[in-house]
Chains A and B, each alone.
Chain A
Amino acid sequence: MIKVEKLTKRFGGFTAVNGIDFEVQKGEIVGFLGPNGAGKSTTMRMLSGFLPPTSGKAEVAGFDVFADSLQAREHIGYMPENVPLYTDMRVSEFLRYRAALKGVPGRRLRERVGDVLELCGLKDVEKKLIGNLSKGYRQRVGLADAMSHEPDLLILDEPTIGLDPNQIRLVRDLIRNLRRHHTILLSTHILPEVEMLCSRVIIINKGRIEALDTPQNLRAHLGQAGRILFDAIVPDASAAASALRALESVQSVSHRADGEWTVFTIHAASGNDPRESLYRHAVDNKWRVREISRPPVSLEQVFAEVTGGEES
């Protein structure tokens, strides 16, 4: 559905997107993940035909987004960041105008607008002025607009930004329901959202793709070099830490006191699992053990790792 080759965008001397390649298949939900200023919005703007690429090319549904822009745009429903809407129009009037503009034939307009109003839960505000709507409703109007002409591809730039948790859940449920009919490319920096919604994740930083995989694989990939938590009561914490460090496949050990317990955080060498040897070591030294665990790696850590940010 999307095919991007060596796509580059420069603004003067600043390179916002630097030669990225990726493909999205029909029916996928792909999450575009990255810190602010990573090039997510710029990439999406190029895909939607708003900005021309400096070099490289992008195809949507087989049409070049620059050379055959009009045909490509017919297949795209694009919701920009911050959801710009005509605040002087009423909800149904706006959707009707947008659907007509995007080529929905006159006889199908009423039905189509009714459908998206229903789907996005906008029935009770259809006669209201968009300017008087809350942020959550506006977001849903934007979503309704994006899908009003039944596009094959939805490009949603930060669809849940600025919403309260309830509204986030509503929008997220809505997106999940859309996956049956649309291919979706969405950007976000809310990580749990990606884990919940997306079949694949593209992590982008400083205009380059840092990782591109399923959320599970990304997690697993990092999980091998993961952290191990080890809680025990030991006579001398520093001595115990150096003893643990000497164990095979342990790379580094840090510790802190938690009452009479000492919590060791152990980083294992890639591909190794030292939990069993930790257990033996504890038994041999007659330490009392409360926990030996490998906490699952969240995408948050993957994200921090690949984008070089601080781990929280």
Chain B
Amino acid sequence: MRKFLILFGREVSSAFHQPLAYIVLFFFLIVTGFNFQAGVTLLNTGAGTVTMVQAFFNTVYFWFPFVLVFPLITMRVFAEEAKMGTIETLMTAPVKDVQVVLAKYAGCLFFYFILWAPSLIYFVVFQEITGVKAAEAVGSYVGAYGMLLLMGLLFTAIGCLASALTDNQIVAAIISFAAILGFFFLGLLSFLLPSTGTFLRELTYYLSPVEHMMDFSQGLFDTRPVVFYISSTLLVLFATFHIFQYRRWKS
């Protein structure tokens, strides 16, 4: 556990040692701020069927930075070590490979949490100023942020896998971006397919992040997405671990 914490600390500090972290934080704040502002505008003009939390988590301004940010967070983690050769000193230190992989993954997740943390303040400020409840019930918060966490778990893992595949950060970013975007669009298919009840419709609905977020931000819990995100996260992490280890494979 001590070694995991040491590695985790290194991951977090190395993330903040590079200018990219601050650029990402800066633009992320701008876009989510704009998203919030758009939500307020919607509430001002709309019929009032949605709450602030729903308005915030279900717009294109939410999804756009959300999808974009994972490659930026994760492209570095394995690719840079491979490129600089520090993977050699890392893998010959007396630490388990699984500790390294989990620490890097946890480091990325930590950064992801920091990105989203300020958004909590928005809702507090919103209630304070307007006197209108941002959500109908606590479940709405728990649902929205729970889904944010679940999707973050999977997409961060996908980014880590992409980074472990190559020693080029740009290639890693493109792979994870393509994978995450492909998954996202697969979910959007459910809006195009006309009839309900067909297998394809059910499948895309089952996989759709947009649908999941729509349900969860209303406070509607469904165990299927929870199982889906956690199990696929474990699968992707398992693959990442073995890719990271390929240098130790017997040939």
**Contact residues of A with B, CB < 8 Å?**
10-12, 45, 48-52, 54, 70-71, 73-74, 76, 78, 80, 82, 84-89, 97-98, 100-103, 145
Contact = CB atoms under 8 A, between A and B. Distances in A.
Given A86-B86, A87-B84, A48 B92 contact: yes
Interface of A, helix, strand, loop or mixed by DSSP: loop
Nearest to B95: A101
Nearest to A12: B251
A84 B167 CA distance: 14
Interface string B220-251: 00000000000000000000000000011111
Interface of B, helix, strand, loop or mixed by DSSP: helix
Contacts of A48: 92
A82 B89 CA distance: 12
Contact of A70 (B7, B96, B249): B96
B247 A51 contact: yes
Contact of B94 (A10, A50, A73, A89): A73
Contact of B7 (A49, A76, A101): A101
Given A49-B92, A80-B89, A84-B89, A101 B84 contact: no
B45 interface: no
Contacts, number: 71
Interface of B: 2-3, 6-7, 9-10, 14, 17-18, 84-89, 91-96, 247-251
A83 to B, nearest CB: 8
B92 A50 contact: yes
Nearest to A100: B6
A52 B251 CA distance: 8
Contacts of A52: 248-251
B245 to A, nearest CB: 10
Given A89-B17, A97-B6, A102-B94, A80 B247 contact: no
Given A50-B91, A51-B247, A78-B89, A88 B96 contact: no
B21 to A, nearest CB: 11
Given A12-B251, A84-B88, A85-B86, 17 more contacts: A45-B88, A50-B92, A50-B247, A70-B94, A71-B94, A73-B94, A78-B89, A80-B85, A80-B92, A84-B89, A85-B84, A88-B14, A97-B9, A97-B10, A100-B6, A103-B3, A103-B94
A101 B89 CA distance: 11
Nearest to B18: A88
Contacts of B84: 84-87
A73 B93 contact: yes
Contacts of B10: 97, 101
A48 B90 CA distance: 11
A11 B89 contact: no
Contacts of B91: 49-50
A275 B14 CA distance: 68
A54 B250 contact: yes
Contacts of B85: 80, 82, 84
5 contacts: A11-B251, A50-B88, A51-B248, A52-B250, A145-B89
Nearest to B96: A70
A88 B17 contact: yes
A82 B26 CA distance: 36
Nearest to A86: B86
A184 B68 CA distance: 49
Nearest to A97: B10
Contacts of A70: 94-96
A85 B85 CA distance: 8
A49 B87 CA distance: 12
Nearest to A74: B94
Nearest to B10: A97
Contacts of A73: 92-94
B181 to A, nearest CB: 30
A71 B93 CA distance: 10
A147 to B, nearest CB: 13
A74 B95 CA distance: 9
B218 to A, nearest CB: 43
Nearest to A76: B92
B90 to A, nearest CB: 8
A89 B18 CA distance: 11
A103 B85 CA distance: 22
B6 A101 contact: yes
B14 A86 contact: yes
Contacts of B6: 97, 100-101
B3 A101 contact: yes
